[in-house]
Structure 1
């Protein structure tokens, strides 16, 4: 049997659903909706592995409605329209039995993808149930959000998770034949981070090869660290992989860059998170060695914010490869760092009078703006004058990088400023 444990013991009815009593308890709001046979379009918001998909399935099963599902990671507008057409044929217009369309990770849908759902929701062709780990106020377009009820699912507590383990040992056809002793559970609960699906996956890994086993903290940590490789968007590996991705691009290795990018994409990482990091890198690590890099990175961010998965993977790959192959310079990054340290050290130094604005007669009488030389009035649009406070006059903060473009900057600065910018 290849079906994972989390699927084998997935609850089929509300009575078996662990936790979320405010929604599915005897007086829970969803319980009342189901009893009345009126299911509104809704957004289920909560952390990973909390049972959002399970709850959507239960609602469909109990209400006797056709059930269609899409993943925002792998579905495009075409897929949405195809499912809506199927739903229209299987349900009646404005009937209580209109099909349920479940969209996992709906926050990953682009604006155009979310727009494609509006007509079907408005006309009653489908009842939409969206699942999200992100605040829907920020990630779901207002027009769609206003047509949905938002229900918050709370994280499982320790008792919920232990109850889930005992249910698995008792009810699962495979695990019920084994002798499993839960001597210690702290490590098991810690590595699962409150994610029930992750907990069951790890638990199955631990007991799959043994007929008799005693679960201890030491055994869990040893086996999990050795055997599990997962991408946790909120955990340590999330930061380790983005670090490897950035360092690969900084190190000019496009092969490694696309590998780590693929790891994030397959793990369901937010496209906008990846694009934001590329945007930062384009300035921090490439800068004026190739200013086009920043333009491309910004265009990438705008594009993936509009398109979403799965097509965004192509755009992200193009940008990552371009940035990896680009000339590198951290000169601007280092310059602002030095400048900030200087400000912290010297405080609010007085602004030179000739650089001050003089919109009133009093300010002019106080010599604000006096002796300022307007650069455009001089050959080459340049005249030698001091722009720093007197106390730090001549301080050098920007050191051009050693690349063709910034070497040109270096020559221009030398010619204009002589000793002040003598690199």
Structure 2
């Protein structure tokens, strides 16, 4: 049986690995670990097709370690313990380097399954490499998270994907025997969405539609036509995941409850993780609604808790209620814009000194150095407000929060105007 093109094109050495220069380039953290012969346990976090499995396999090869792999979808505690026992014997009695245990979709492991890894990781029987498309802070237990380095893998960029496609055409044992001309790439790249595996799958589907002796001129029109005919095969692993959640979020942001409920139904029928949906609603409640309706965040957070308590199928009603409420709510991204702008100023200005009157003064020496001197305690003033400087001198008057154009935040604007007058230009 011939393996898929994506499998055939897995790089064999680190220098063949495309993208992730922030991890594998000169003096990058994983490259340095390999060069120093010391691999720590780690978690790769990134969207599908960014090479998480490939990188784990490469690290095993270049470091001369055995490689065990489990999928969190179908592995239980017993499977984990069996592998750990093998690794323990291999490490203690054969003198070999501790093997790598790669767990795909580690976010799907429950607490008990994750806890079963702790001792082996701590004692060095295994080097754990987990792969996840979800934020590890949400899904990995703190004890295990503290024992692993987290590395973010980025989606491939346009030039990376084109390079990958050309390499496959030139070097693959089967494609290199065909006459293939990659005339246009936009359609393939659009279908891939930055996913290397999807790009190669698309290329393989297109070229498989021709006989070996036929010339294949790949155009956008050809790719669109063939991919549409093979849409089920092309998307058999559920890789519409990110497109559908994007449509769901944008429908709520656009205040369309009908579209929101439709995309929610699509995710539910496709078996999407309920907590994944609920977390996205919490984020949206703050990012896209914020202070236009502060109750939105509370409702979304309560929905998340309720979904955890109730489970499927009844949880679908809770998610529907929350999605409809958020879609109908007034919108504002002022808080999102404020923190983005503040972080940008921090990057540009560095660690500016905290004004003396705002500093903590727990010791006599600090008080003698005027820490906290002249600080005005707001509650001692009329309206619980004292007009004083709270920013570093270098950025005094810098405005980050611009109230949104909605009834709730217009009230905020009037209060800020009366308090700060011309300082922040409200």
TM over 0.5: yes
Question: Which TM bucket (shorter chain)?
Answer: 0.5 to 0.7
Q: Which runs of 5+ in 1 are unaligned?
A: 252-256, 278-296, 305-314, 324-328, 341-423
Q: Determine the structure 2 residue equivalent to 1:361.
A: none
Q: Which residue of 2 aligns with 1:379?
A: none
Q: How does 1:45-56 map to 2 (within 5 A)?
A: 45-56=45-56
Which residue matches 2:276?
273
Q: CA deviation at 1:38?
A: 0.9
CA contact (8 A) 1:68 1:83 kept: yes
- In the superposition, relative to structure 1, how do residues 240 and 24 fare at CA in structure 2: closer, same or farther (>3 Å)? closer
8 Å contact from structure 2 (residues 14, 58) kept in 1 = yes
The alpha carbon displacement at 1:6 in A equals 0.4
Matched with 1:105 is 105
Deviation at 1:235, TM superposition (A): 3.6
The residue correspondences of 1:288-303 to structure 2 (distance < 5 A) are 301-302=307-308
Aligned match of 1:219: 222
Instruction: Specify the SS of the correspondent of 2:184.
Output: coil
Change (3 A) 1:32 1:299: closer
CA contact (8 A) 1:276 1:301 kept: no
**Counterpart in the other structure of 2:26:** 26
Which residue does the alignment assign to 2:150? 150
Q: Structure 2: how far apart are the matches of 1:139 and 1:54?
A: 22
Instruction: Sort the Cα spacing of 1:13 and 1:317 in 2 relative to 1 into closer, same or farther, 3 A.
Output: farther
- The answer to whether the aligner puts 1:183 opposite 2:190 as a matched pair is no
Q: Counterparts of 2:145 and 2:29 in 1: how far apart (Å)? A: 18
The answer to whether structure 1 residue 92 and structure 2 residue 98 are counterparts is no
2:74 equivalent in structure 1: 74
Kindly report the root-mean-square deviation, in angstroms, between the aligned alpha carbons of the 2 structures.
4.0
Quick one: distance in 2 between partners of 1:152 and 1:132?
A: 10
Aligned counterparts of 1:272 and 1:15: Cα–Cα separation in 2: 38
1:232, distance to aligned residue in structure 2 (A): 2.4
Tell me what 2:131 maps to. Answer: 131
1:2, distance to aligned residue in structure 2 (A): 3.0
- Give the aligned partner of residue 300 of structure 2: none
- Are the equivalent residues in 2 in contact too, given 1:25–1:31 (CA < 8 A)? yes
Distance 1:272 1:204 in 2: 35
> 1:59: Cα distance to partner?
0.4
- Give the total of aligned pairs: 296
CA distance in 1, matches of 2:3, 2:99: 26
Match of 1:232 among 239, 256, 260: 239
Deviations 1:364-390 (A, max 9, x none): xxxxxxxxxxxxxxxxxxxxxxxxxxx
Q: Which residue of 1 aligns with 2:348?
A: none
Deviation at 1:112, TM superposition (A): 1.9
Would the alpha carbon gap of residues 164 and 298 (structure 1) be closer, same or farther in structure 2, given more than 3 Å must change?
A: closer
Larger relative contact order (C-alpha < 8 A, sep ≥ 6)? 1
Q: Does structure 2 retain, via aligned residues, the 8 Å contact 1:98–1:126?
A: yes
Q: Which moved more, 1:188-197 or 1:126-135?
A: 126-135
1:373-388 correspondence to structure 2 within 5 Å: none
Cα offset for 1:240?
8.4
- Look up the SS of the partner of 2:92 in the other structure: coil
- Residue correspondence of structure 1 range 391-402 to structure 2 within 5 A: none
| Structure 2 SS opposite 1:130 | strand
Relative to structure 1, the CA distance from residue 203 to residue 166 in structure 2 (aligned partners, 3 Å threshold; closer, same or farther) is: same
Q: Distance in 2 between matches of 1:22 and 1:96?
A: 30
Instruction: Note if contact 1:157-1:194 (Cα within 8 Å) is conserved in structure 2.
Output: yes
SS in structure 1 of the partner of residue 155 of structure 2: coil
In the alignment, is residue 7 of structure 1 matched against residue 7 of structure 2? yes
**Cα distance, 1:24 vs structure 2:** 1.7
Superposition deviation, residue 91 in structure 1:
2.2
Matches within 5 A, 1:382-421: none
C-alpha separation in 2, matches of 1:151 and 1:298 = 27
Deviations 1:215-255 (A, max 9, x none): 11111112212212222254445578999xxx9xx99xxxx
Which structure 2 residues correspond to residues 254-265 of structure 1 after superposition, within 5 A? 263=270, 265=271
Mapping 1:352-391, distance limit 5 Å: none
Deviation at 1:317, TM superposition (A): 6.8
Q: Where do 5+ consecutive residues of structure 2 fail to align?
A: 252-257, 281-302, 331-426
Name 2:200's counterpart in structure 1: 200
| Residue 119 (1) aligns with residue 122 (2) | no
Q: Which has the larger radius of gyration?
A: 1
CA distance in 1, matches of 2:192, 2:183: 17
Match of 1:68, SS?
strand
- Counterparts of 2:118 and 2:94, CA distance in 1: 15
Check whether the contact 1:38–1:96 (CA below 8 A) recurs between aligned residues: no
Shift of 1:138: 2.2
Q: How far is 1:276 from its partner?
A: 8.3
Change (3 A) 1:300 1:112: farther
Q: Would the alpha carbon gap of residues 240 and 226 (structure 1) be closer, same or farther in structure 2, given more than 3 Å must change? A: farther
Q: CA deviation at 1:115?
A: 1.4
**Aligned twin of 2:419:** none
The residue aligned with 1:408 is none
